[in-house]
Amino acid sequence: MGELFGTDGVRGVAGQDLTAGLAMALASAAASVLAGTGEFAGAREAHRRPAAVVGRDPRASGEFLEAAVVAGLAASGVDAIRLGVIPTPAVAYLTSALGADLGVVLSASHNPAPDNGIKFFGRGGLKLADEVEDAIEARLRRGDGGASTRVGEMPAVAGPAGVPETGFGRVSDAAEQGERYIEHLLATLPVATLPGRSGGRTDSRAKPLAGLKIVVDCANGAASRYAPRLLSRAGADVIAIGTEPDGLNINAGCGSTSLGALVAAVLEHRADAGIAHDGDADRCLAVDADGNVVDGDQILAVLALGLKRSSRLAGDTVVSTVMSNLGFRHAMRTAGIEVVETPVGDRYLIAAMLDGKFVLGGEQSGHIIMLDHATTGDGLLTGLQLLAETVRQDRSLADLVSVMTRYPQVLITVPGVDKARVATSPAVTGAIADAAAELGDTGRVLVRPSGTEPAIRVMVEAADSAQAERLAGELVAIIRDAG
């Protein structure tokens, strides 16, 4: 992986690290590699002008970054189809559904409003492999005369010289395509008649979530116009919060990174469950009727068991990351489900799923991938399927997730340290080994650099929460000294 791309695209502080010039240059480089313009023209059909779909979350900086990306695409001979403010998974879906050569999303996902990011999807709506990102970065460097390129160090203007072979791309707006995405999600629900919540029958083709009262927190993000409408059309009685984005309040005290507001609303309205998304709606966490948080591991366990029960879990296997809770692994083993483990990042999950032809994977953070219906993590799809599972089994969410006992897990982010220095520090390496030896088979230690922030993540898992907290605190102190 090069210097620009992290685990989920290129991110930085908008206007400082992530400038309009860099956005335009990245779009031009991506057009060359993914859409077959410039020296990559042989990668596409001759004389056919390629197309890209472009979406964003409601951050204020998304407006100028979108304009820069569209300019870079059009100048490179790519038609740019602007989708407006829309969830990231919708861009992935529409990249495939509209037959586009690439998709572009302007979003920093769960990060605060000053940050933004650019991520790309290739044909079919799939995230890019490391080698493809490397090719884009290499093309970006050559566009700058071979100079070293870092976030924030691009010239104000970069792009192809002269008129592209297919002519300049045209720009169009297609916000109405968001309805196509909602229809796609609704079509993933069952078509058979299922037991109702009160012992009667409900026609799932019309209102599969009828009888459920649901609170949904849209994080003042891209889900604001989509998640409440989706759940309502599925039949739920919906109370929506975090649906007033102003460009600055995305993820601020709301959404999947701050569940307090959702817990309070679920208890106040005596709802059956709560669903929380992050800023670009590729994550989903939940809250049960008693206000207990349901994390991504628990959601993944419920969905895996549901798919296995209906003989739709390919290979009786689920894919998760190194961060998944020991309780998840134990629950899967008890159910006869194999767990394939990957590094953190939903593109690594997808790569393993495609390689093994598996259909379900996910992260503790709430990135859940259901390859039968989506090519990337989709928070709206996840919430819909989780709630549908409660109806299918006529059980409460709390009852469903009781299949998994969550081990105490301490997660600490250590900001402002030199990730390379920490990675090579003998003191840190020794402390990790000592902690792992103390835990033995009763827990785990994981220390890794963040792929989206200048920080180190520390995770300690143990049967005893006090032990986990003590060991994590000791590791954090050593990491700070080393970094």
Same domain, 110 and 145: yes
Give the burial class of 15: count Cβ atoms within 10 A of its Cβ; 0-12 exposed, 13-18 middle, 19 or more buried: middle
Same domain, 234 and 261: yes
pLDDT for 144 beyond 70: no
CATH of the domain at 89: 3.40.120.10
Q: Phi and psi at residue 195, in whole multiples of 5°?
A: -60, 145
Per-residue confidence at 482, pLDDT binned at 50, 70, 90?
confident
Average confidence (pLDDT) over 64-73:
98
Choice between 347 and 221, residue whose per-residue pLDDT is larger: 221
pLDDT for 443 beyond 90: no
19-55: pLDDT as tens digits? 999 999 999 999 999 988 654 444 445 557 899 999 9
Same domain, 340 and 451: no
- Alpha carbon distance 268, 271 (integer Å): 8
Same domain, 420 and 375: no
Same domain, 91 and 42: yes
- What residue type is 388 in one-letter code? A
Average confidence (pLDDT) over 423-431:
92
pLDDT for 146 beyond 70: no
- Alpha carbon distance 423, 419 (integer Å): 6
Is 469 inside any structural domain?
yes
3-state secondary structure of 402: coil
Is 198 inside any structural domain?
no
CATH of the domain at 454: 3.30.310.50
225-257: pLDDT as tens digits? 999 999 999 999 999 999 999 999 999 999 999
Same domain, 87 and 127: yes
- Alpha carbon distance 372, 356 (integer Å): 14
pLDDT for 456 beyond 50: yes
What is the pLDDT at residue 154? 44
- Alpha carbon distance 13, 4 (integer Å): 13
Same domain, 308 and 279: no
Lowest-confidence segment of 56-65, 343-352, 377-386 by average pLDDT: 343-352
**Which of 257, 274, 290 corresponds to the end of one domain?**
290
47-61: pLDDT as tens digits? 578 999 999 999 999
Give the burial class of 200: count Cβ atoms within 10 A of its Cβ; 0-12 exposed, 13-18 middle, 19 or more buried: exposed
Half-sphere exposure of 157 (CA within 13 A, CB side): 5
| Token pair listed for 284 | 């989903």
**Which of 290, 322, 347 corresponds to the end of one domain?**
290
What is the pLDDT at residue 452? 66
Identify the DSSP state of 407.
P
Which pTM was predicted? 0.86
Same domain, 42 and 159: yes
Same domain, 85 and 165: yes
Give the chain's radius of gyration (CA, Å): 23
What is the pLDDT at residue 47? 57
Average confidence (pLDDT) over 329-357:
92
State the distance between the two ends of the chain, measured CA to CA, in whole angstroms.
Answer: 22
- Residues labelled catalytic: 109
What is the pLDDT at residue 192? 43
Same domain, 49 and 138: yes
Q: DSSP labels for 415-438?
A: ES--HHHHHT-HHHHHHHHHHHHH
Same domain, 25 and 157: yes
Average confidence (pLDDT) over 268-278:
98
Which residues does 392 contact at the CB level (< 8 Å), separation at least 6? 190, 194, 195, 306
Same domain, 281 and 310: no
Residue range(s) defining the domain that contains residue 346: 295-379+396-406
Lowest-confidence segment of 34-43, 300-309, 313-322, 458-467 by average pLDDT: 34-43
- Alpha carbon distance 42, 26 (integer Å): 20
**Which of 270, 290, 310 corresponds to the end of one domain?**
290
- Alpha carbon distance 238, 229 (integer Å): 9
Is 202 inside any structural domain?
no
Report how many domains make up the chain. Answer: 4
